[in-house]
Structure formats: C-alpha cells, structure tokens
Amino acid sequence: MERMEGERQATEQEQWLPLPVETTGQPSRRQAEVWALVLDSRSIPWRLEQTGAGRQLLVQRRHLESARAELRLYEEQNRNWPPPPPAMRSLVGNTLATLSVLILLATFHNLTLLEISLPGQGVVDLRDLGALHGAAVQEGQWWRLVTSLTLHADLPHLLGNLCIGGAIIVLLCRELGSGLAWSLLLGSGMLGNLINAWMQAPDHRSLGASTALFGAVGIFAAMGTVRYRHHPLRRWLVPLAAGLALLAMMGSEGERTDLGAHLFGFGAGLGLGLIAEPLVERQGRPGRLVNTLLALAAALLVILAWWAALTLS
C-alpha cells in the first residue's frame, strides 16, 4: 500500500497542467513564447503543445503555483510596455524667416561673383578666401570651416542645395525652432568640415552648404531613432535607413561631389541630433528668448568667420 501511495504521489507531481495567468486566458503564440522565456529564466520546466483551441503552455503540477506567481509578476511589471508612439510635435510657423535666410545665401553667391576690392589688398576672390582648404585648416584657419558653407561653385550647385536642401531645412526649423535648428546645422557643417579637412589630403579643397544639408539629414535620422527607441527595430531603424539611402542617392553623384564632406556632415548631424533630441523631449523646444539668442549666435559666428577671412588671411 505504501508503495502504491508513493507511485500515485509521484504521478501527480509529474502531471502537466495548462498555465494561463488568471486574467489573460488562452495565450497567443507570441505571449506563450514570452512566458516560456520567463519560466526558463526561473528554471521552471514547461511544455508548449498545440491543441484544437491553439497553443497551450503546460507546467508540472508541483511548479504550478510558482509559475503562476512568476508570470503574474512579469505581466504586472510590463503592463503598458512599450509605451505608445510619441505624439506628433506641433510645427513652428517660421517658414518665411527660414526662406529669408536661404534667399540671403543666394544673394551672397551673387556677391562672390563680383570683383571686390579691399583697402590694402586690391581685388579679392571670396571663394578662394573662404573655401575649405585642408592644409590651411590644419594651420589654424578655423574660419574656413564656416565660410565654406556659405559658398557655391556655380549656379547649378547653388540651386541644387536650395531646392533639395531648402525643403529639409524648412522642415527642420519648423520642428525645432529657428535658433536651435540653425545652430545644429552650423555645428554639423563645421564639425563635418573639420573631420573632412583632417581626413583628406592637405591640398584638398571644397565649398558648399551641402555638408550642413547632410547634417540636417543626420539630425532627422537621429530624431527618429530617439523618438522610437522603445519600439521594434523596424520602427526606429526606418529614419536612419532613410537618411543613409538619401546620402547614397544624393551625396555620391556628380564629378565634383565631395563624398567625404557629405558623409562627415551626415555623421556630425547624427551625433548632434542624438544629443539635442533627448533634451527637447525632456525640456521642450527653446523659448523665444533662448531661440533668438541661438539664432543671433549662429549669425554672429558667420559674420566673425568672414571678418577673420578678410583680415587674417
């Protein structure tokens, strides 16, 4: 009799029972797989069987209560996770101000085509004074990191940057505010130019706003990556993949295309965007005063750079 009782108790212990958490009912396929991982982490044996009603997760009778407790705790701790996608950010009404800056850039291009004479220097070539020159930057002519962003080789170069890059810049300024957007654009352009100057041959020369424009693409890619960081990879990788695709399509074509400038500008924008977007999420966009100060600082930096180019070169 004792032997038979012992065999009966052993059989009951090894009996496999279905395991729903009380409030969830029959688990879906994905939920059952997740629950199985939870049980594995707690060294609780389990089985996953296919029944007429769907998949059924089973555990031994002796582990039933502990398994229920572990899954109940998991469900409570992970309720409402991942969080819902962030709401679309309202856009700032600053399109006219952004277009005014782009028109000013086009006007400055016309100025570089004129023969300008300075006291004691005679006729100066603004494109020669302001273009990015690897050896000159390495020797300390920092202003070329900025001035080269305001120059263009010819009218098609200018129109290409204004038509394609202008749309990106307008949207970035509406997303972040003019001051922050232009500061990030200038920063990514300068940083991209600095890396390009040190990575290329000393006699390397380049000019154009495209370094900053691809910085804007990098900033957008970083913003999307940060916003969707709590969601499946296919959600937050899309902006990054789109940025890389745009770089491949627009940044590597043309006989005079400076691929290094585009690539480093994109990378610099990506880095600055990864810093700026979390700050904007936590603290919001800069207020009117801070936004104005950032815009003035960016404009003053461009003016100072050209003053240095005209007086120190």
Q: What is the pLDDT of residues 142-161, one digit of tens each?
A: 999 999 999 988 888 888 88
CATH number of the domain encompassing residue 28: 3.30.70.1530
Q: Does one domain contain both 22 and 160?
A: no
Q: Does one domain contain both 130 and 179?
A: yes
Query: Helix axis angle, 166-176 relative to 95-112, nearest 10°?
Result: 140
Contact residues for 208 (Cβ-Cβ < 8 A; gap 6+)? 148, 149, 151, 152, 153, 157, 161, 258, 261
In this structure, what is the dihedral angle of CA atoms 106, 294, 185, 241, given to the nearest 10 degrees? -140
Q: Does one domain contain both 164 and 266?
A: yes
Q: Classify residue 106 by its DSSP letter.
A: H
Please check whether residue 224 is in contact with residue 236, taking contact to mean a CB–CB distance below 8 angstroms.
Answer: yes
pLDDT of residue 173: 94
Domain span holding position 25 = 12-77
CB burial of residue 111 (10 Å; 0-12, 13-18, 19+) = exposed
pLDDT of residue 172: 93
267: confidence class by pLDDT, cuts 50, 70, 90: very high
Convert the pLDDT of each residue in 14-30 to its tens digit: 688 777 655 445 666 67
Domain boundary among 77, 104, 132: 77
Q: Residue 130 corresponds to which amino acid?
A: G
Three-state SS at 286: coil
Q: In the predicted model, is pLDDT for residue 184 greater than 50?
A: yes
User: Is the model more confident about 24 or about 297?
Assistant: 297
Please check whether residue 269 is in contact with residue 261, taking contact to mean a CB–CB distance below 8 angstroms.
Answer: no
Please check whether residue 67 is in contact with residue 39, taking contact to mean a CB–CB distance below 8 angstroms.
Answer: yes
Q: Return the active site residues.
A: 210, 262
Report how many domains make up the chain.
2
Contact residues for 210 (Cβ-Cβ < 8 A; gap 6+)? 161, 165, 251, 258, 261, 262, 265
* Stated pTM of the model: 0.72
Kindly state whether residue 3 falls inside one of the protein's structural domains.
Answer: no
Kindly state whether residue 183 falls inside one of the protein's structural domains.
Answer: yes
Kindly state whether residue 241 falls inside one of the protein's structural domains.
Answer: yes
Kindly state whether residue 86 falls inside one of the protein's structural domains.
Answer: no
6: confidence class by pLDDT, cuts 50, 70, 90: very low
Q: Does one domain contain both 37 and 101?
A: no
Kindly state whether residue 2 falls inside one of the protein's structural domains.
Answer: no
Q: In the predicted model, is pLDDT for residue 231 greater than 80?
A: no
Kindly state whether residue 5 falls inside one of the protein's structural domains.
Answer: no
3: confidence class by pLDDT, cuts 50, 70, 90: very low
Residue 205 β-bridge partners = 133
